[in-house]
């Protein structure tokens, strides 16, 4: 996905949707949200491969794996 970062905060559309859905899921289920659940919520709003989702999520949370 070649979305350009938004000038307001530097987030791409995918990053914004991931963070939004993570926030919503945490409100419904306090604690950690399984990655599969988050992916399912994200693909309801944007077409993204599992690989691209995982790469973007890792970048957002700062994971080095």
Residue 8 in any domain: the answer is no
Confidence at residue 1, expressed as pLDDT on a 0 to 100 scale? 47
DSSP string, 15-63: HHHHHHHHHHHHHHS-S---HHHHHHHHTTTS---HHHHHHHHHHHHT-
Quote the domain boundaries for residue 38.
Answer: 13-61
Residue 5 in any domain: the answer is no
pTM for the complete prediction? 0.84
25-56 tens-digit pLDDT: 999 988 899 999 999 999 999 999 999 999 99
Task: Tell me the two tokens of residue 13.
Answer: 């559309």
Residue 45 in any domain: the answer is yes
Confidence at residue 3, expressed as pLDDT on a 0 to 100 scale? 67
Task: Tell me the two tokens of residue 50.
Answer: 């599992």
Confidence at residue 15, expressed as pLDDT on a 0 to 100 scale? 95
Residue 4 in any domain: the answer is no
């Amino acid at each position: 996905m070649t979305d350009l970062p938004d000038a307001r905060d530097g987030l791409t559309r995918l990053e914004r949707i991931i963070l939004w859905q993570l926030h919503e899921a945490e409100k419904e289920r306090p604690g950690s949200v399984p990655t599969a659940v988050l992916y399912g919520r994200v693909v309801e709003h944007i077409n993204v491969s599992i690989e691209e989702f995982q790469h973007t999520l890792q970048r957002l949370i700062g994971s080095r794996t």
